[in-house]
């Protein structure tokens, strides 16, 4: 279920990061390099009353030269205007209205997105008077807040939540396969999308009456409905921030959140790099079905071992997803492009597969008979029964006497047994080890 996105925009030093951190609490969603070195903050999940939302950390997007402050403010505001559903325009109440605030306002006038003007650093009630000066910015009623003291935040958030789009929960029907192309810039995502939608048997629906900047594309192929998530995001608008690595991750994260199946696009020419792993790591964390498309296959000089070697490399670089199918394609020559949707469909079917409890149990029982569960200081882990508790991805609860006794390697063994029986090609599966009550 997609959640509304909020961005905080304003000139430097008004308190944007302080406010971001304050609203984010501890639940910051991060992209993490697998070896655990870099931790990039991109979105933070937040909640106000019963509204969940995500905040974009526009401050983390570094564009242009260090000292071109106005330029950076502009890029950040543009980014917010594209990505956010509601924008908090933050100013400093102790400084009064500055020229830089007016510059930001000029940029924000161009959007139809709702804007909530918040006047920060009003640390005591007496200072609240000054908010009236800020009416001149032209965004209606200013909300006086003190991020340091936490005052006024409730009223401001009420206003923010009031502006969340109403149809946000209007997602696509269950039986429509939601698919996205994810990957770093220039791997060929938009070219692949065009190649795919240009396929003879792909019938793109004419979307009557919808706005031109509709982000998704709906189509039918072999009697199956699909929606390509965030097609618009793949078309270049040429903004400077769109070439930043963090932006591409941000886009990927939004698309991943709304997809069933993610196609990770890799550039055959350049091979696999860290950023590919980062992006797919998020798709994994979100439990999405994944297929790997190695694009620009036309560029390589190949012999009979090229594909095998490349796949070996992929398996080595992505050891945590041996189940993800790999397809070598070319958006340019259309080689194997016609196979993509078949793979997507299979992955989607496995992603939503339901296995009867009796079948799951007999597989697990056989596995337990073959290799006994671990013991720890003489105590034996007992596996009582297993049942599927969710789909997308298939998730199983394994009931045991004491979850502490279950080892990771044994869990992996059980998972492999389930895979041996049901395939689950293209989808992660999850095992939850639970104590039997």
Task: Tell me the binding residues for GTP.
Answer: 10-17, 57-61, 120-123, 183-190, 230-234, 295-298
Cβ-contact 424, 350 below 8 angstroms: yes
Q: Does the footprint of ligand GDP cover residue 180 (CB under 6 A)?
A: no
Give 250's contacts (C-beta < 8 A, 6+ positions apart). Answer: 42, 43, 56, 83
Q: Does the footprint of ligand GDP cover residue 171 (CB under 6 A)?
A: no
With CB under 6 A as the contact rule, the residue among 217, 295, 346, 348 that binds ligand GDP is: 295
- Quickly tell me which residue has 């297929």 as its tokens: 291
CB of 105 to ligand GDP, least distance (A): 16
Q: Does the footprint of ligand GDP cover residue 23 (CB under 6 A)?
A: no
Q: Does the footprint of ligand GDP cover residue 190 (CB under 6 A)?
A: yes
- Torsion of Cα atoms, 389 then 355 then 176 then 277, to 10°: 70
CB of 350 to ligand GDP, least distance (A): 26
Q: Does the footprint of ligand GDP cover residue 239 (CB under 6 A)?
A: no
Q: Does the footprint of ligand GDP cover residue 298 (CB under 6 A)?
A: yes
Q: Could you tell me how many residues of this chain bind ligand GDP (CB under 6 A)?
A: 31
Residue 143 backbone phi and psi in degrees, to 5: -105, 120
Kindly tell me which of 331 and 364 has the beta carbon lying closer to ligand GDP. Answer: 331
With CB under 6 A as the contact rule, the residue among 14, 228, 261, 272 that binds ligand GDP is: 14
Q: Which of residues 122-161 bind ligand GDP (CB under 6 A)?
A: 123, 146-148
- CA neighbor of 247 nearest in space, from 374, 61, 119, 54: 61
With CB under 6 A as the contact rule, the residue among 3, 275, 330, 348 that binds ligand GDP is: 330
Quick one: which segment of 80-88, 128-136, 161-169, 182-190 binds ligand GDP (CB under 6 A)?
A: 182-190
Helices (H) and strands (E) in the chain, counts: 12, 19
Helix (H) or strand (E) holding 56: strand 51-56
Q: How many CB atoms lie within 10 A of CB 197?
A: 15
With CB under 6 A as the contact rule, the residue among 142, 144, 152, 188 that binds ligand GDP is: 188
Q: Does the footprint of ligand GDP cover residue 186 (CB under 6 A)?
A: yes
With CB under 6 A as the contact rule, the residue among 332, 336, 339, 436 that binds ligand GDP is: 332
Quick one: which segment of 7-15, 255-263, 310-318, 385-393 binds ligand GDP (CB under 6 A)?
A: 7-15
The three-state DSSP-derived secondary structure of 91-141 is EECCCCCCHHHHHHHHHHCCCCCCEEEEEECCCCHHHHHHHHHHHHHCCCC
Angle among Cα 200, 191, 302 to the nearest 5 degrees reads: 95
DSSP state of 47: E
Q: Does the footprint of ligand GDP cover residue 120 (CB under 6 A)?
A: yes
Cβ-contact 357, 393 below 8 angstroms: no
Rg of the chain on CA atoms, in Å = 25
Provide the β-strand partners of residue 178: 227
With CB under 6 A as the contact rule, the residue among 5, 7, 16, 400 that binds ligand GDP is: 16
With CB under 6 A as the contact rule, the residue among 5, 119, 187, 250 that binds ligand GDP is: 187
Quick one: which segment of 136-144, 184-192, 196-204, 427-435 binds ligand GDP (CB under 6 A)?
A: 184-192
Distance (Å) of CA 115 to CA 22, 77, 251, 371? 19, 12, 22, 61
Q: Does the footprint of ligand GDP cover residue 296 (CB under 6 A)?
A: yes
Q: Does the footprint of ligand GDP cover residue 339 (CB under 6 A)?
A: no
Cβ-contact 262, 290 below 8 angstroms: yes
Point out which residues bind ligand GDP (CB under 6 A).
10, 12-18, 59, 120-121, 123, 146-148, 183, 185-191, 234, 295-296, 298-299, 330-332
């Amino acid at each position: 279920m997609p959640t509304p996105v909020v961005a905080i925009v304003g000139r430097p030093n008004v308190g944007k990061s302080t406010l971001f951190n304050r609203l984010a609490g501890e639940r910051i969603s991060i992209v993490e390099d697998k070896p655990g070195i870099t931790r990039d903050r991109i979105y933070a999940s937040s909640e106000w009353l019963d509204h969940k939302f995500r905040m974009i950390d526009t401050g983390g997007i570094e564009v242009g030269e260090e000292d071109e402050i106005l330029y950076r403010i502009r890029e950040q505001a543009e980014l917010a205007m594209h990505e956010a559903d509601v924008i908090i325009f933050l100013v400093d109440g102790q400084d009064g209205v500055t020229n830089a605030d007016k510059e930001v306002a000029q940029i924000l006038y161009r959007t139809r997105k709702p804007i909530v003007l918040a006047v920060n650093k009003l640390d005591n009630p007496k200072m609240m008077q000054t908010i009236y000066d800020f009416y001149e910015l032209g965004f209606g009623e200013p909300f006086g807040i003190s991020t340091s003291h936490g005052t006024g935040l409730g009223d401001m958030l009420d206003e923010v939540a009031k502006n969340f789009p109403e149809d946000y929960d209007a997602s696509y029907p269950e039986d429509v396969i939601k698919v996205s192309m994810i990957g770093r810039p220039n791997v060929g995502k938009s070219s692949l999308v065009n190649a795919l939608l240009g396929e003879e048997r792909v019938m793109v629906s004419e979307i009557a009456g919808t706005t031109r900047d509709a982000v998704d594309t709906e189509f039918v192929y072999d009697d199956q409905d699909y929606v390509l998530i965030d097609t618009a995001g793949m078309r270049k608008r040429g903004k400077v921030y769109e070439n930043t690595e963090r932006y591409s991750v941000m886009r990927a994260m939004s698309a991943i959140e709304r997809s069933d199946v993610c196609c990770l696009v890799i550039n055959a020419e350049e091979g696999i790099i860290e950023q590919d792993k980062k992006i797919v790591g998020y798709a994994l964390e979100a439990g999405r079905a994944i297929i790997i498309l190695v694009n620009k296959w036309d560029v390589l000089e190949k012999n009979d071992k090229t594909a095998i070697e490349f796949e070996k490399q992929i398996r080595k670089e992505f050891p945590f997803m041996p189940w993800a199918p790999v397809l070598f394609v070319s958006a340019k020559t259309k080689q194997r492009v016609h196979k993509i949707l078949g793979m997507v469909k299979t992955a989607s079917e496995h992603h939503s597969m339901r296995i009867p409890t009796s079948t799951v149990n007999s597989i697990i029982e056989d596995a337990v008979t073959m290799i006994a569960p671990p013991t720890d200081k003489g105590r034996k882990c007992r596996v009582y029964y297993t049942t599927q508790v969710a789909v997308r991805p298939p998730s199983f609860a394994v009931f045991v006497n004491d979850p502490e006794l279950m080892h990771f390697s044994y869990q992996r063994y059980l998972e492999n047994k389930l895979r041996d029986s049901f395939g689950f090609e293209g989808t992660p599966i999850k095992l939850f080890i639970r104590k039997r009550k």
